[in-house]
Chain A
């Protein structure tokens, strides 16, 4: 069967002249009149799917004489045009894909039309998104959505976020009417409405005197309403000196502050409502049409003689497939760790390499005891949810136990209140286990300062005044690492540091006697306790490291060979790439 091609309507010169005049007239019209949808203003010639009869729609305007013609070969095949939910998202995006046409004249664009129903297309009630062809919109650039098949190299895609096209209604500024609405919905009480209206009236009265600085609904001069809240007016320059706000009585000022707080609260309700509306818009089903556009010519992708319409809706997904590799690797490592924990339970006495910094702990505590000096334990700035803070607390448990055994004194310095509370509990329990509950003094485990450099100043001062015999600096540190370690070094104490902040490691290595680098900090608790199950975890960690080393080696060899032989190893790169 002979393939029929769509026909572009090419008006004769007279038609072109009329069309030009019409365009000139249209440009002179008010903006509202001109801002209609492309379907009603562009020549709508319809193309068909492969092997289907051509359909031609009347042209409203003529293409420029120098413009190349938009033919069927410039428009995607109807069978390749589809839309579906974007995978791995929270229900915000729809993917529209279409095949790359055989020809792509320079300047061609693809127009995706989005409507709530098929009828809306006829009524012109639709939104459009224009996409310029480029290698960046090829489906092969997004393997987490489209996979690695060859087909993806010939597919274009675009993401449609419905709420970006059909924007939710934004609440206006806080007005008397809206306040009454809030009262009707029982968001505010009648009494609150009365107070708010009184403040609003006062603000309105002042508005001419103070200029735009005090808008109705905005926070009073010294109020604390957020400047970005939807109910507040945009901030403007302060009024000139002559238009200073009138002096208010303390009661009036308090009333205005209350009003600002109320406005801020109502703004959060508005924001919640907009968010809910956005989710609703995104969750609805939509209809899509696709057209090629070149200058004034528009050519629809068609099926059965009509512009092809596809339907799709965004759905909230339960899994981020782009992170599957990450999850699988995490589960493999976890399985290795759990396996070695089980092995260690059956076969205690696993060999673990020596860690100098941890071996030195007893030596440092013993030295402090001999010199009758306290032991200092300095926590990092991490919160209790940070692994480094948990690891430090675990080491603290061992150090406090040893210190109590040696009848020495330990001072624990904290930056975080929750870490302080946990450390107090840990030290108290350690003293009890050592048979010295009386050795625990809550003042020895205290919050020193919440601010980074205030903490440094206080701890440095204490180090210089009390001259500790051993200093343990463990956890996550920032710029304070060198300040603390260098001050400690000047006191002559044995210093053992450990951190997972690799940028601070050089400072600790330079100034401390022993440094636990990264993973050694996490390993410390297991190493010190010698508990078989914990040691099993350490062994599992080492096996995981060997696995990664092997993967790096094999990956390097494969990629080198691929570069030399011209193999396509995009899937291998994708396999190891962090996705989202």
Chain B
């Protein structure tokens, strides 16, 4: 119990209080402590990466071995991972996949720039379509609140595109009514709501931190609430 509960909780309390005081102590010792902690985090993160790789490999190997649904995709995980690791190891100046000079691109860079980044951009670009479908579902004036949301959304969207300014000019005798209204919605009701959420988050964070530091909240250690 002492090893599994008391000592970890004492470490959490001690390091937590020191980390909290970091923000208020300008002494070089304080920044040295922060740098030391950052180094420790990086070292622990490095070891944890092995655990992550093990977990990932184990899951996909099991999938392939048992021919679970979608097991073919798991093969691509290994092709991608082994390919990029090999490219990195052998892309240095003495390897078979050498870039030659600094200005030439190594195979690793090529894979990163021409495979990973375009794939990520593709997934990211899907967001535009999802946003449209989500907006279509949401902006239906089923009740008063939804109607207000729809009206505010139309004004904000319209006020933020060039055509909104043009239309505003036609309708309101060259006055930027729609863009100004859009700005007012963003600057007042929207900002007020945003700040309310942020204040709630800040208080929640203090409360959660206190619960963790005092050892009241222990679910993250496993073994129940």
Contacts and interface: CB of A to CB of B under 8 A. Distances in A.
B216 A533 contact: yes
Contacts of A521: 204
Nearest to A548: B199
Nearest to A501: B201
A338 to B, nearest CB: 7
B23 A221 contact: no
Contacts of A482: 127, 130-131, 134
B103 A418 contact: no
Nearest to B212: A390
A319 B25 contact: yes
Contact of B94 (A250, A442, A534): A250
A335 B203 CA distance: 13
A334 interface: yes
Contact of B206 (A257, A334, A428, A479): A334
Contacts of B101: 221-222, 238, 244-245
Contacts of A518: 197-198, 200-201, 204
A333 B201 contact: no
Contact of B24 (A244, A327, A486, A500): A327
Contact of B219 (A319, A479, A525): A525
A510 B138 contact: yes
Contacts, number: 247
B6 interface: no
B200 A456 contact: no
Contacts of A202: none
Name B's interface SS: helix
A222 B208 contact: no
A508 to B, nearest CB: 10
A505 B221 CA distance: 28
A387 B25 CA distance: 22
Given A510-B134, A544-B203, A531 B225 contact: yes
Contacts of B212: 390
Interface stretch (A72-80, A85-93, A189-197): A85-93
A397 B210 contact: no
B48 A253 contact: no
B225 to A, nearest CB: 4
B41 interface: yes
A191 to B, nearest CB: 21
A414 B201 CA distance: 23
B109 to A, nearest CB: 12
Nearest to B133: A486
A318 B27 contact: yes
Contacts of A502: 194, 197-198, 201
A428 B48 contact: no
A442 B55 contact: yes
Interface residues of A, number: 102
Given A91-B28, A466-B69, A483 B225 contact: no
A339 to B, nearest CB: 11
Contacts of A537: 207-208, 210-211, 216-217
Interface string A64-103: 0000000000000000000000001111000000000000
Nearest to A389: B220
Given A90-B26, A479-B127, A537-B211, A394 B41 contact: no
A54 interface: no
A390 B212 CA distance: 9
Contact of A453 (B70, B119, B209, B225): B119
Nearest to B31: A90
Contacts of B56: 446-448
A84 to B, nearest CB: 16
B207 A337 contact: yes
Contacts of A254: 94
Given A253-B94, A330-B206, A457 B119 contact: yes
B124 interface: yes
Interface string A302-342: 00000000000000111110010011001001100110010
B224 A390 contact: no
Contacts of B103: 238
Nearest to B222: A429
Interface stretch (A15-23, A129-137, A174-182, A419-427): A419-427
Interface in B83-106: 92-94, 98-103
B136 to A, nearest CB: 10
Nearest to A503: B194
Contact of B45 (A417, A429, A462, A505): A417
B219 A317 contact: no
Interface string A452-470: 1110110001100110000
B142 interface: no
Nearest to B198: A502
A520 B52 CA distance: 29
A391 B208 contact: yes
A560 interface: no
A417 B220 contact: no
B131 A253 contact: no
A526 B211 contact: yes
Q: Please name the 7 residue pairs, one residue from A and one from B, whose CB atoms are nearest each other, closest first.
A: A417-B52, A519-B204, A222-B93, A529-B225, A429-B222, A522-B204, A447-B52
22 contacts: A220-B93, A222-B98, A337-B210, A337-B211, A338-B214, A397-B220, A397-B222, A397-B225, A417-B55, A429-B222, A433-B223, A443-B58, A454-B116, A465-B70, A466-B69, A486-B134, A510-B135, A519-B204, A522-B205, A522-B207, A526-B217, A541-B206
Interface of A: 88-91, 220-223, 238, 244-245, 250, 253-254, 257, 279, 316-320, 323, 326-327, 330, 333-334, 337-338, 341, 383, 385, 387, 390-391, 393-394, 397-398, 401, 414, 416-418, 420-422, 424-426, 428-430, 433, 442-443, 445-448, 450-454, 456-457, 461-462, 465-466, 479, 482-483, 486, 500, 502, 505, 507, 510-511, 517-523, 525-526, 528-529, 531, 533-534, 537-538, 540-541, 544-545, 548
